[in-house]
Structures are given as structure tokens and as C-alpha cells.
Amino acid sequence: MDQHPTPHPPAPAAPAPAARARWTPERQRLFLTTLLATGNVTQAARAAGMSRASVHRLRRRLAGTPFDRTWDRALALHEAVVA
């Protein structure tokens, strides 16, 4: 009798890591809208489902772009309304 090793079933696939949240245009708009309303970067980042550190990295990466300029305008407008 010839003995063949019984094949092992394939190992179950590891669960895919959760997709990392990305700064989509929708999240950027939500962040900027909330920033205008609150004047608070942390609160605005949370409203967009992102962290404060993440939004600061995004701003550095997008320095000089409309996102960066709108951030400054949102804070200035919020301050003008509150003052």
C-alpha cells in the first residue's frame, strides 16, 4: 500500500485590516465647515472622523493650497463672529 500524505486544508485567510480613514474631499469640507462653526481644530477633526494630528499632517502636505488658505479664513471668520 502506497501511503500519500493527506493534504491539509488551506489555512483560513487572515482578516483584512480595516481600511484606513482617508482625507476625502467630503471629510475636508466637513472639517472646514466645523472649524468655521467652532474655531476648534480638535473638534472639527473629530467631526470629520479624523484625528487632530492627521489634520495637521494634511495641512502641512497641502501647504499653500485652497485647503490651507480656507483653514486660515475659517479661523479668522470664526473669530470675527465671536468677537
pTM (2 d.p.): 0.76
Residue 50 CA to residue 27 CA, distance in Å, equals: 8
Output the pLDDT for position 21.
Answer: 81
- Residue % of the chain over a pLDDT of 90: 72
- In the block, cell 500524505 appears at 5
Q: How many CB atoms lie within 10 A of CB 27?
A: 19
For residue 62, give the C-alpha cell: 497641502
Question: CA 43: distance to chain centroid?
Answer: 13
Is pLDDT at 44 greater than 90 in this prediction? yes
Is pLDDT at 55 greater than 60 in this prediction? yes
Q: What is the average pLDDT across 50-61?
A: 97
Output the pLDDT for position 83.
Answer: 86
Residue 78 CA to residue 83 CA, distance in Å, equals: 9
What are the φ and ψ backbone dihedral angles of 40, each rounded to 5 degrees?
-120, 115
